Chain A
Amino acid sequence: MTTTRAGAPLRIGALVLGFSFLYAPIVLLVFYSFNASRLVTVWAGFSIRWYGELMKNEAFRAAAVTSLEVAAMAATLSLVLGTLAGFSIARFSRFPGRLLFGFALLAPLVVPEVILGLSLLLLFVASESWIGWPSRGIVTITIAHATFGACFVSVLVRAQLAGFDRAVEEAALDLGARPWTVLTRITLPGISPALVSGWLLAFTLSLDDLVVASFVTGPSATTLPMAVFSSVRLGVSPEVNALATLFLALVFVLVSLAAWLMARAERRRQTSLQELPSPVCCARPPPAVRERGDPAR
């Protein structure tokens, strides 16, 4: 571009160093999960021995099942609550308690996990002694994960709604569509990228959470991060390397799939909007198009 700015070699250098720092530990971990030796410093040849050992590990397997159950339930609950919350904040500019609501939606994104974990546990203990519910375990972990998951979903939904052209909704209503039809045929498909990525984000956050789950769980439920943590505390274990590699592979596939689906949905939306001959899109440019104007910068 121009010569006044920090030169291209400097920028490439920053990127290479930065991404090496972010990715080197992960790459090394994946690499050593295929090491035949137990020692990290000795490369004893390629082996999938630790994957075999991992499959035989009953504790890990049971914990993985618990984690997947919790994550699926928590992500679904997060999606419902977070979508409602995102709509409320994006579409209603004033209602009683909106400020407090907005605070409660964003604060869990930054509040340290130890605070969320301890406070929820104390609530569950108090509630169990008052009304006998909930007993600590899968239910309490799911509630806890759904709470912070909903906050992340609401952020994504809200951002997507901000870029959503409401004229399309109004046009449908003017043409006689019922509100429910507008919601299911226009609004929800329009924000589907946020819904997909929101569910996936809530799912992985739940799958990954150690601190909150450790606080709110009871003796009956151990999640995968809890099992990994107690094993890691005893030192590096090749089985954990194998587990981590499987986890990374799963996440990578899911995220790439989601990114691809969203890019495709976005492309389709763009083309369909361009093909619309109606004054809907010409009265004001669709916000999505405005946002994406940056390649021309």
Chain B
Amino acid sequence: MMEPTAYLLLSGILFGIGVVGVVARKNALIILMSVEIMLNGVNVAFIAVGSHLGDPTGSIFAFMVMTVAAAEAAVGLAILIAIFRLKETIDITELSVLKW
């Protein structure tokens, strides 16, 4: 089996692309998708190191990350629908009620 270095690099690249999506986009739906990409990048690192060490703990942690990602998507999208019903927009720069 390959050394995990290349997998860790792939993990970092996926996480970085997710960060770009979160900081550079205005569409709230695409920001939530970018968060999913970031969590997937973290999962790649967990799986790569877990299988390298021959320990199922890596898979367990990735499993927990996936659960949290599913919960986050459900609640985040529900919040998005509530906001859209209230403001008729998904542009995050227009949602500045809490801004001082």
Chain A bound to chain B: no
